[in-house]
Structure 1
Amino acid sequence: MTTPAQTDYFGLTIPLMHLMGVIPESIGPGHARTRLPWREDLTNSRGDVHGGTLMSVLDFTLSAAARGNDLQTGMATIDMTTSFISPGNSDLTIEARCLRMGASIAFCEGEIRNVKGELVAKASGSFKIFKRRPGGD
C-alpha cells in the first residue's frame, strides 16, 4: 500500500479536495482511505459537516479505490447513492473499496466514520473507466 504526500491526491491535482482540506492517507489495489478534518467553514447551520461536502469526499475516495489498481486510469462518476446516518461533527475518516472492476465500469462502496468510529454516511457508486491522456488529463 502506498502512502502519498499530503498535497498529492493519489497522483492527481484536485483543487476542490485541496479547498476542502481532504488528506489522502492510503491507496492500494481496490482500496483508498482519506481524512477530512472538521472545519467550521465546511458546516451547515447546525455545525455539522455539510452533506454536499460528505458526498464530495465520498465521490473522490470511491473513485480513488477504483484507481488503486492502476493510478494511470481515470474515473468519471456515473452515479452515486449516499445515505446519511448521523451528524459529522468531528474529524472524519473515509474508507472505500472497489467491489468489481469491469472493462469499462467500476463498482465501489465506502463509509465515513467519526473519531469515535461511528458511521456518519455510506455510499455506493459506479464509475466509467478511461485511460488518461499523456500529461495527466
Structure 2
Amino acid sequence: MTDLTCAANAPGPDMFPSGRFTFQEFLGLERWIDGDVVRVRLRHRPELMNYIDSFHGGVLMSVLDAAMAGAIRAQMPGCSMVTIDMATHFMGSTRGEINAVGRLLKRTRTLCFCAADIYDEAGELIASATGSFKYRPAAAGAVQPTRE
C-alpha cells in the first residue's frame, strides 16, 4: 500500500515540490493506493459542514474528484490532468468521517474515465460519481512526488 497523504500537516516538502498549499491539503484529505484503487479519508471538521451539520455537497464532490484523480495518478505516476466532466449522485448525508474509493475504468490516448464512491462510518454508500479527465503523461525528467 502506497501512502499519498494530503493532510495539512502531513506531507513533507518532497510531496509538493512547488511549495504550494493545495486545495486537497486545505480539506485535510488523506489518500493512499490500495491495489488498483485509491482510498481517500476525510474527518469531520465544522467548517466543511452545511447548515444541518453534515458534509457540504461541494466537499463531497471534491472528495470524489480527488479519489478519481488519485486513481489516475496511481496508474500513471507524475501525469497531470484536468477534470472534463463529473456526474454526481447524492444518496445520503453524514457528519462523521467519510471514506472514498476511486477507480480508473478506462484509458484512451488522451482521456481517462473513472468512478468513485463515498461511504460513511457505518459503510453506507452516501455519494457516487463518474468522471472523465484529460491527462498528459509526465514529462521526461519531471520531478515526481514521493512519499516514504
Q: TM-score, normalising length from structure 1?
A: 0.87
Q: Distance in 2 between matches of 1:118 and 1:40?
A: 21
Which residue is equivalent to 2:27? 20
Q: What SS does structure 2 have at the residue aligned with 1:88?
A: coil
Find the aligned partners of 1:106 and 1:30 in 2 and give their Cα distance.
15
- Count of residues in correspondence between the two structures: 133
- Please list every run of at least 4 consecutive aligned residues from structure 1 whose deviation after the TM superposition is greater than 6 angstroms: none
1:99 aligns with 2:105: yes
| Amino acid in structure 2 at the alignment position of 1:46 | I
**Contact 1:62/1:108, CA 8 A, preserved across alignment:** yes
Tell me the TM-score normalized by structure 2.
0.81
Query: Once superposed, what is the RMSD of the aligned Cα atoms?
Result: 1.9
Deviations 1:57-90 (A, max 9, x none): 1111101101211211111100001110001221
Structure 2 unaligned blocks of 5 or more:
none
Shift in alpha-carbon separation, 1:66–1:96, aligned structure 2, 3 A: same
8 Å contact kept, 1:28–1:65? no
Deviations 1:81-105 (CA, angstroms, capped at 9, x unpaired) = 1110001221000101001011110
Who wins on radius of gyration, i.e. which is larger? 2
1:33 to 26, 36, 39: 39
- 5+ residue gaps, structure 1, are none
> Which whole-Å CA distance do the structure 2 matches of 1:109 and 1:79 have between them?
12
Provide the secondary structure at the position in 1 that maps to 2:86. Answer: strand
Letter in 2 for 1:94: A
